[in-house]
Amino acid sequence: MTNSFPIAFLFPGQGSQAVGMGKELFDNHAVARRTFEEADEALGYRLSQVCFEGPEEKLKLTEITQPAILTASVAALRVLRAKGLKPDYVAGHSLGEYSAHVAAGTLKFADALRTVRHRGQYMQEAVPVGVGAMAAILGMPLSEVNKVSRDAAHGEVCQPANINSPEQIVISGHAGAVGRAVKLAHERGAKKAVSLPVSAPFHCALMQPAQDRLAADLSALNFQKSHCPVVCNVDAVAITEPEAARSALVRQVTGSVKWEPSVRLLMEEGVHLFVEVGPGKVLWGLMRQIDRSKKCLTVGDEETLQKTLAQVSVTAV
């Protein structure tokens, strides 16, 4: 199936996991089955069983969540490839950037799996439980969120962690500072500001210990020039060179996820069709907040796979 227009594959990050993810693709497609078997072998435990059967508490552990979402995403990617659908660009939200690099051939799947297991562990261990927090601020421009974060810091860390859409920005930092920012955001006219039930303050300066540990792991990995451009979170630029990919994955741990700017870059490159590849519909939801005029499809199970293949063949005619 040749694309008559640029297609971007988008890969979800942490928070998209659900017990049962990937099971239908595993049952119906040999290439998905092999993907889960490869993951079990690379990690040395039955990740597939946790994905398909839970328990949910285990699937939510960061060092399990990250390889689980990566595996479910790569299984869906390989099924799409087997059906003849390939991306012209790829991007992934936070953890999803690893799935994007597997899709682009920058990283081997087994290397990415072992790396994200450690990434999850390092991020969890970087900050003692209760010291950090994250909150979502809705309906407030980035310039105002930046001001709120600065004014609430009082010498502590408080910064935008996920610039998700015009409607949604997530902040991260010390629990006290984030709490003050939530109060300030309410006072200054945010539509909503709410603390998030997360296990650590991701994508802020408090993650420096995790970044340092991950940098050592990534320096030992073999990165290849990618087959197609990968839009990296931390800079919102399209990259193909191995060293640029490595640097972006390191800096991503403490840096903001510039998701809206990344999607807008893809639109500037002429992408009209976006396919969220992996569990959930988080990125589909953000796309509706960024630009409803662009078509965004999802592939996470058999139903969404068939719908997407039908839509793409119709669009490509």
Phi, psi of 57 (to 5 degrees): -60, -40
195 assigned to active site: no
Cα separation, 255 vs 205, whole angstroms: 8
The CA-based angle 60-65-71, given to 5 degrees, is 145
Alpha-carbon distance of 88 to 104, in angstroms, equals 9
CB-based burial label for 67 (10 Å; 0-12, 13-18, 19+): buried
Q: CA torsion sign, 284 to 225 to 254 to 141?
A: negative
d(CA 8, CA 2): 14
State the catalytic residue, choosing from 203, 226, 256, 262. 203
Find the Cα–Cα–Cα–Cα dihedral 307, 17, 72, 236, rounded to 10°.
Answer: 90
Rg for the chain (alpha carbons), in Å? 19
- β-partners of residue 138 are 168, 192
| C-beta of residue 210 within 8 angstroms of C-beta of residue 121 | no
The bridge status of strand 132-138 relative to strand 237-239 is unpaired
From the candidates 16, 48, 73, 94, give the one annotated as an active-site residue. Answer: 94
199 is catalytic: no
| Partners of residue 193 on adjacent β-strands | 137
Catalytic residues: 94, 203
